[in-house]
Structure 1
Amino acid sequence: MAEVATFATSDQLLVVIDQVARRADAESVRIAKDVLSAGAATKVCLPDGPEEFARVLARRGSRRPVVIGDDRALLRAVSLLYRQRELAGCALSMVPVGAALSLAGALGVPTGAVAAARAVLDGVVRRKDLLVDESDGVVLGALRIPSLPVRAAPAEEQTPVPSGSGHASWLRTCQSLVRTLVPPRPPREPLAGVTRLGPARLRVEVDGVTLVDLDQPVDGVSVTPGASGFAEVEVRPVSVGAEASPLCARGRSVTVSGADFRYRADAGVLGPVRTRTWVVREGAWGLTLPG
């Protein structure tokens, strides 16, 4: 069972209101601030950017930090505390405000300003696993490696006119005339010159055991912190004929390597990298949730 701690409303709170939240929904910010101030001693900070956000968090003292903002603000707070090696001893609280709130919802944080603020005051801290890579990057929810983007050739490249033909100039003139007289046809899929997705060739290793190798193209890879220090890994091979079943595994470390690839982790897209290893840190961080 996850470790749980209960907070009293007499705790001092450091309420950090992200600038994106202030611009996106000032009314929800005001409501959350009023509820928190009515239930506990609060110090409210309005950082103007990431650097000031980091300074405010570093100078929190014994106050319990409460982030009012979106998924990126929560991720920024966790990343800063992890890099300062203070994450284990600092439980975070969050009032989600903004457009990007899917991560907060998936973690169990109420999405309404009043409900989230009350959970900060009366909730419990639940320890959660964390994915950490070799560059101190953190993943709170899931990371996904999509198929590789490839660029379709423009129409002129797909149907070239032979340059050595004696009637090439006459043919181009006729083609130009036809284009002016005939209405254009609806574009075919994929659109010429538009990026589309193609299979990736990656080696995926879970606890040192190869789950899929470079000779097997894949449609995508997902890694999610599971429970008790294990990550859930799913690889979707490219199907030939009948639909291929996903390859699944559990482990404490996951290494992905191959051609340059990008990956989506929580609220952002990172990379390109040629290899990356994620390790599960069991119960590495605490988040206040409704009891």
Structure 2
Amino acid sequence: MATSDQLLVVIDPVARHSDGEAVRIAKDVLSAGAATKVCLPEGPEEFARALDRRGSRRPVVVGDDRALLRAVTLLHRRRELGATALSLVPVGAALSLAGALGVPTGAVAAARAVLDGVERRLDLLVDDSDGVVLGELRIPSLPSVPSQRDGMPAGEAAPGRPWVRVRQSLVRTLAARPARLAVPPGPGPSRLRVEVDGVTLVDLDQPVEGVSVTPGASGTAFVEVRPVSVGAEASPLEARGRAVTVSGADFRYRADAVVAGPVRRRTWTVWEGAWGLTVPASG
């Protein structure tokens, strides 16, 4: 059997607790079409160990957007992402990133795409602390929730909700550094300097309502800055480039589903074609 037909199916514990039926369906479809080894990690250390021991098997993550982000982050930090094509069967409540990346959000369709799909090479935003962004970066409009690091949300487990306790376990053990549990301010104008490839797009003298950075194509990111309007609505400032630096007073940012910070300066660089994701074959 070809290497591509050897699958390592890593089932995120939150997916098992939140939608066991979808997990069972995905396992059945994958097992019917390929030789599979199924791993049921109970925490981030086991999750990482399963990926480390994948050998020649193609990794398939069964879980939500955070599970995908966790897998990409682990492989990136081991500098193994470029040689490893990932597959995803989305299961859970947070699936917007998976859908935006072209992965079907139904268990059957996603599992069939794992078996019959093609690898799509995607750009990656990597910051100067080795964090990654798969979909979109937003500054500074954030909800009033504790800050998060390394792909995990912070919070207390609710009694009688085992999947929340599982997520809390992931929070405690996966984070590479202690989280700073400060509550971010409500949405409002900020004074930030935004530089794209060394050219200043907006400076500290111009308050802004928000900044967004999205990996584009051919190794560039699309940057949009929304200045605070005075009188007539201000037009967004737009640019494309390979490196984006934001600096100013302490600010937080949302990278995919993760809230991070506060920081005073951060640079994101586009890594062209840095990772591969299996998506349905066109046509």
TM over 0.5: yes
Q: Which amino acid in structure 2 is aligned with residue 244 of structure 1?
A: A
Residue identity in the other structure for 2:70 = R
- Count residues in correspondence: 241
2:190 corresponds, among 194, 197, 200, to 200
The residue matched to 2:66 in structure 1 has which SS? helix
Q: Secondary structure at the match of 1:200?
A: coil
Partner of 2:93: 99
Indicate the residue corresponding to 1:28 in structure 2. 22
CA drift of 1:197 comes to: 2.4
Deviation at 1:280, TM superposition (A): 0.2
Q: What SS class does the counterpart of residue 46 from structure 2 fall into?
A: helix
Q: Aligned-pair distance for 1:9?
A: 8.9
Equivalent position SS for 1:114: helix
Do structure 1's residue 264 and structure 2's residue 254 form an aligned pair? yes
- Following superposition of structure 1 onto structure 2, how do residues 104-143 of structure 1 map, counting pairs within 5 Å? 104-143=98-137
Matched residue, 1:279: 269
The CA distance in 2 between the partners of 1:148 and 1:290, in whole Å, is: 33
Matched residues in 2 for 1:108 and 1:239: separation?
Answer: 35
Q: Secondary structure at the match of 1:199?
A: coil
Q: What are the superposed Cα offsets for residues 137-177 of structure 1, whole Å, 9 maximum, x if unpaired?
A: 00000000024889xxxxxxxxxxxxxxxxxxxxxxxxxxx
Checking the alignment, whether the CA contact within 8 Å between 1:16 and 1:68 is kept in structure 2 is yes
Check whether the contact 1:8–1:122 (CA below 8 A) recurs between aligned residues: no
Tell me how far apart the structure 1 counterparts of residues 272 and 4 of structure 2 sit (CA, whole Å): 30
Find the counterpart in structure 2 of residue 230 from structure 1: 220
Q: Cα distance 1:269–1:196, how it changes in 2: closer, same or farther (>3 A)?
A: closer
Shift of 1:8: 6.3
2:142/2:254 contact within 8 Å kept? no
Asked if the contact 1:131–1:281 (Cα under 8 Å) also holds between the matched residues in 2, the reply is yes
Cα distance in 1 for partners of 2:26, 2:85 equals 19
Q: Does 1:84 pair with 2:83?
A: no
Q: CA RMSD in A?
A: 1.6
Structure 1 runs not aligned, ≥5 long: 1-6, 151-194
User: Deviations 1:85-132 (Å, cap 9, x if unpaired)?
Assistant: 000000000000000000000000000000000000000001000000
In the alignment, the residues of structure 2 paired with residue 22 and residue 262 of structure 1 have an alpha-carbon distance, to the nearest angstrom, of 32
1:239 paired to 2:233: no
* TM-score of the two chains, using structure 1 as the length reference: 0.81
Match of 1:49 in 2: 43
Which one of the candidate residues 40, 59, 64 is aligned to 2:58? 64
Distance 1:258 1:54 in 2: 36
Conserved in 1, the CA contact under 8 Å of 2:4 and 2:58?
no
**TM-score normalised by length of structure 2:** 0.83
> Where in structure 2 are the equivalents of 1:184-199 lying within 5 Å?
196-199=186-189
Amino acid at match of 2:33: G
1-side partners of 2:187 and 2:251: how far apart?
A: 13
Deviation at 1:51, TM superposition (A): 1.3
Assess, with a 3 A threshold, how the Cα gap between structure 1 residues 215 and 27 changes in structure 2: closer, same or farther.
same
Distance 1:58 1:9, change over 3 A: closer
Contact preservation (8 Å) 1:148, 1:197: yes
Gap regions ≥5 residues in structure 2 = 145-184
Q: Displacement, 1:232?
A: 0.1
Question: Is the alpha carbon distance of 1:148 and 1:117 closer, same or farther for their aligned partners in structure 2, counting shifts above 3 Å?
Answer: closer
Tell me the residue number matched to 1:218: 208
Structure 2 letter corresponding to 1:99: A
